[in-house]
Amino acid sequence: MNAQFIFVMLVGFAEGIAVGAGFVAFLSVLGIIPRLTQLSKTVHLIRYYEWGIIIGAVVSSWLSLRNPVLSLPKMTVIPIGLGAGVFIGMLAAALTEVLNVLPILTKRIGFIDKILILLMAIVLGKVFGSLFHWTIFIDGGAN
């Protein structure tokens, strides 16, 4: 092995450590796992949540390096998409909860008594935006 190859390996390893440390710090600052166990009343299963995140991060990192092509039936992809959506939604909700974005936003725009309308607008906007994206750009581009 030459010096350039070893240097690239060390830089890649250092970048992986930096990204992994940032991911763990992000999760610990947001407190997603303790909050999830508290809301779902499954504190006794906290180790499974932690191992699920660890295994998910390792497997997804490995898959991103391998660049696999999975030919899965549409009915198999639905639970995977739902799981990914739940994860992203919980991450966004935790970030919003930690930063207290919605109370500040409602005070700034004078919507304090209509916070339910604001929440429904956000939720419906995400749903319709996702449906539009998948039906027009994803399925429409396949034709």
pLDDT tens-digit series, residues 10-47: 888 888 777 777 777 777 777 777 877 888 899 898 88
- pLDDT at residue 38, as a whole number: 85
- Rounded Cα–Cα distance for residues 137 and 60 (Å): 25
- Rounded Cα–Cα distance for residues 19 and 22 (Å): 5
> What residues contact residue 114 under an 8 Å CB cut-off, 6+ apart?
106
pLDDT in tens, 112-140: 787 788 778 878 888 888 888 878 777 66
The answer to whether 12 and 25 are in contact (CB under 8 A) is no
pLDDT in tens, 61-103: 888 788 888 788 888 888 888 888 888 887 777 776 666 767 7
> What residues contact residue 95 under an 8 Å CB cut-off, 6+ apart?
30, 101
